[in-house]
Structure 1
Amino acid sequence: MAAVVLAALALSLGPLGTPSSPAGTPLPPDRLRQEATGALESTRAVSVHVRVREGRHTVEASAGEAALGTGRPVPNGAHFRAASVTKSFVAATVLQLAAERRLSPHDTVERWLPGLVQGHGNDGSRITIRHLLQHTSGLHDYDSTELTGRTAPEFERRRFDHIATERLVAAALRHAPDFPPADPADPEPRWNYSNTGYHLLGAVIEKVTGRPWAEEVEDRIVRRLGLRGTRVPGDDPSLPKPYAHTYHRFAGSARYTDTTVRNMAWAGTAGALVSTSRDLDRFFTALLTGELLPPRELAAMRTTVPSNEEHQRFTPGLRYGLGLMRQPLPCGGSRWGHHGDLEGTFVRTGFTADGRRSVVVTVNGRTTDDTQLLTAEKALQGLIDRMLCRR
């Protein structure tokens, strides 16, 4: 775990621009190594990998080990489960369909999925696609650990199970809504993160296009941008090589469980994507600079509402657009991106509004302890802020 490695350093090919530095200089490799090591110590994780880009400069560094007890560093171009970062890919796909006038964000769920969202106070005729994209539908968020396991022995028994997303949606709809769908005129509507809504968006994509959502994401984004390390794995439980192992300390366990190999088909449009740091950088940069969406749809995606108190505790100032997160930068302006969390791993991204500066952080080694999670979150948020605000 003491191993620290500089993964890559590319030469400058163009001018830079950031909120605090209109003409910055390349990040020194030693500085990023120090940041990775500090993040490893603060998070008490197994490994940390950081990728920072300024214009065309790219520097990567890692700390810790790719597999416990081996001393091997996190490899260059490591694949990882992007978890909820998947939502930004799905939202961009939905908004492309809106730009093509094949659907409207104001369409109701009932229009595209008649009879699916009903009962226990749930009403698909009152919930729009925009509500689903922005987590303002009020739909209850399912607890996936009820099916995937809350303890290490349960996880080991269920890690290869195929769990249909329909089961998760049905489980969520057995609950009453957390609140009524947002009023379009309310500038600060009630908000609650709901994976359930993104599973419904996957079903809408399939109803509109007649194709699986994964194929639409592949054709519209992955292949178009040349994201060679990004895919939807389906029932394949493995990660493509190279990769670093993920580890989770479940409640009641004093030891890490290796969670790397598992069936993630259940996560679907809410979090199934496998990707790399380079690919996430390419995707969000293309998204924010208008390469994937026309101006109207991009503006809609970047129109945000405040998150709820629970999320504010971990990520102060967090506002949510349509599948896109926004947070204030201490040097002025905002950073954009999306977070991903899964048993064993954190994925954190941060991009300046113009896409000129970016940070992608992956951390392997996670716990269920709330205090430690908060400490880790503060460390990761601070790292991203320092990199984006670097003078």
Structure 2
Amino acid sequence: MKTSKNRQFVKPVLGRSLVALVLLLAMACSSLLSDHLPPDSQADRRSNVQKTVDSVRTALEKDLQNSVPSLNVLIQTPTEKILASSVPPGNTPVLETTNFRFASNTKNFTSTAILNMHEDGWLDFKAPITGLIPGTSVPYVPNTPAWDFPYKNSITIEQLLQHSAGVFDVDNDPVPGFNGKTFTEATQLADPTHQFTTEEMIHQLIINNLSYFAPGTGYHYSNTGYAILGKIIERVYSTKSGSAKTYGDYLKDYVVGPNAPVPVAIHFPVRADDTVLPSPRVEGLELQPGKAIKYGDYNMSAQVAEGNGYGTMAALNTYIRSLMKGQNVLKPETVTIMQTDASSTNPTYRLGCTLTKNLGYGHNGARIGNLALMAYDPLTDVSIVVYLPLWDLTNGLDSFTKCFNAMYDAAYAARATLGYPGKP
């Protein structure tokens, strides 16, 4: 995760059947216990989680010396689902169905789309990006001078997914000629309605000869790398369908829409005029010295495939829980690839996915005043979504980091309150 606008794999030692039997018995016992709890026990547990999240939010307020608009946790265990929305007195709590921008959690959806195309034989995620779409004479990325960016001929789709391709990030790092700003920030400040394209981002790589390292020799988080993946999804879907398609079209048709295996209320705008965040909604808040900025309706065309998603806590929970359990669009064996396929340069980041101890597999995101986290832990069958609509920059990176850490503290504390392993 990069703090701009925008953890250990455990190999099974026991046989799979024995592990499955142990987990099944544990879940059955847990279910029986839940069925025989006093009538108010589940209400007590909900209340305890609420108090826990309240304590994290108020501690953050004290640390920042600023108000925190809300801190929200949705946690699902084998026997229950609990939403705790902590807000200052008089404020309206966030609902499971409240829309918000979940930022770089989008990257996991992009990885899912790529791997689903791989399952269907539409692409090979191990292939170089200059390779041909299977069964066609069309390359994954255009074979034109406008796409001749550094190391293009040596980069694979897999490396883009792992952030090991060395693609310079024009959305997170300053680009020459833009007064110390990123290309996307400077362009959007000049024209908030600008329709961004992957090609113009690539153009900055070419004219400034920008890259981080030779592919496969390092790790650097890159939104621009994921923008290229979005272009690949667009080109493959257009080629296979015989008509012009977008990244958002594929995600809707195969991953989240009404015809997907597990439909969820999630959207990925790709047009500069598709700015409206629907109600009910929460707007991101950015606090700067002497200034507060709210982000609601917003042009997300610069973040396609890397951070343009919005949806609800319920939808994110359903998605990450079903996906990581192998009960969604990807086969269980493909989910295992997503969870374990990491480069040697950074084993903590896999294919659009991280493993965080005592939280599980998932992703996080930060974009225009929003912080979000989604994860599923297969060891406990617990999924969690956390949302904090605040970037506090009044003390620079220090106050931002406090917000980011509070999101994780809330996740760990909620788990611990329900009897699961918490903060390591």
TM-score (normalizing by structure 1) = 0.79
Q: Distance in 2 between matches of 1:364 and 1:324?
A: 22
Q: Report 1:47-62 matches (<5 A).
A: 47-62=70-85
Query: Is the 1:40–1:46 contact (alpha carbons within 8 Å) kept by the matching residues of 2?
Result: no
1:349 is aligned to 2:349:
no
The one-letter code sitting in structure 1 at the alignment partner of 2:414 is: M
Given residue 323 of structure 2, which amino acid in structure 1 is its aligned partner? L
The structural deviation recorded for 1:258 is 1.0
Amino acid at match of 1:382: D
Does residue 1:282 correspond to 2:318, yes or no? yes
Equivalence for 1:94: 114
Structure 1 residues 269 and 64: CA distance shift in structure 2, 3 A: same
Superposed, which structure 2 residues align to 1:263-278 within 5 Å?
A: 263-278=299-314
Change in CA separation of 1:40 and 1:170 when aligned onto 2, cut-off 3 Å: farther
Question: What residue in structure 2 maps to residue 11 of structure 1?
Answer: none
Query: Which residue in 1 is equivalent to 2:334?
Result: 297
Aligned pairs (5 A) from 1:364-383: 364-368=389-393, 369-383=396-410
| Further displaced range: 190-199 or 367-376 | 367-376
Aligned-partner Cα distance in 1 for 2:157–2:196: 25
Work out whether 1:208 is the aligned partner of 2:210: no
Q: Does 1:385 align with 2:391?
A: no
Q: For 1:167-187, what per-residue CA distance to the aligned partner results, in whole angstroms no more than 9, with x for missing partners?
A: 2333244343211111xxxxx
Q: Are residue 168 (structure 1) and residue 201 (structure 2) matched? A: yes
Count residues in correspondence.
Answer: 347
8 Å contact kept, 2:265–2:311: yes
1:245 deviates by 2.1
Q: Give me the identity figure in percent.
A: 21
Q: Deviations over 1:72-127 (max 9, x none)?
A: 332441101111111111111110111122211121112211245434xx122210
Per-residue CA deviation, residues 249-281 of structure 1 (Å, 9 max, x unaligned), is 24xx32211111211121111111111111111
The separation in 1 between residues aligned to 2:203 and 2:312, in whole angstroms, is 32
Query: In the TM superposition, what is the alpha-carbon distance from 1:385 to its structure 2 partner?
Result: 2.5
Residue of structure 1 aligned with 2:290, choices 240, 244, 254? 254
Letter in 2 for 1:166: E
Q: Secondary structure at the match of 1:269?
A: coil
Q: Where do 5+ consecutive residues of structure 1 fail to align?
A: 1-14, 183-188, 310-317
Structure 2 distance, partners of 1:76, 1:89, is 20
Tell me by how many angstroms 1:147 deviates: 5.0
Counterpart code for 2:196 = I
What amino acid does structure 2 have at the position aligned with 1:139? V
Q: Is the 8 A contact 1:102 1:208 kept in 2?
A: yes
1:195 and 2:228 correspond = no
- Deviation string, structure 1 residues 339-359 (Cα, Å, up to 9, x no partner): 010121100122102682111
SS in 1 for 2:299: coil
Gaps of 5+ in 2: 1-23, 35-41, 62-67, 132-139, 173-180, 239-244, 420-424
Instruction: Say if 1:52 and 1:59, in contact at 8 Å, map to a contact too.
Output: yes
Specify the SS of the correspondent of 1:361.
Answer: strand
Tell me, yes or no, if structure 1 residue 108 matches structure 2 residue 136.
no
Q: How far did residue 70 of structure 1 move?
A: 7.0
User: TM-score of the superposition, structure 2-length normalised?
Assistant: 0.74
Cα 1:285/1:265, change in 2 over 3 Å: same
SS at match of 2:74: strand
Q: Quickly say closer, same or farther: Cα 1:55–1:160, change in 2 above 3 A.
A: farther
Q: Distance in 1 between matches of 2:226 and 2:373?
A: 19
Displacement of 1:135 in angstroms is 0.6
Please state whether the residue corresponding to 2:355 is helix, strand or coil: strand
Cα RMSD after superposing both structures: 3.0
1:23 CA displacement: 8.3
- Say which SS state the counterpart of residue 293 (structure 1) adopts: coil
CA spacing shift, 1:92–1:17, aligned 2, 3 Å: farther
Following superposition of structure 1 onto structure 2, how do residues 134-149 of structure 1 map, counting pairs within 5 Å? Answer: 134-143=162-171, 146-147=182-183, 149=185
The separation in 2 between residues aligned to 1:305 and 1:155, in whole angstroms, is 34
CA shift, 1:56, in A, is: 4.7
Larger radius of gyration: 2
8 Å Cα contact 1:84-1:339 kept in structure 2? yes
Selected match of 2:253 from 194, 219, 227: 219
| Change in CA separation of 1:367 and 1:105 when aligned onto 2, cut-off 3 Å | same
Aligned partner of 2:65 in structure 1 is none
Q: 2:54 aligns with which of 37, 46, 49?
A: 37
Give the deviation of 1:241 after TM superposition: 0.7
- Counterpart CA distance in 2 for 1:175 and 1:386 is 46
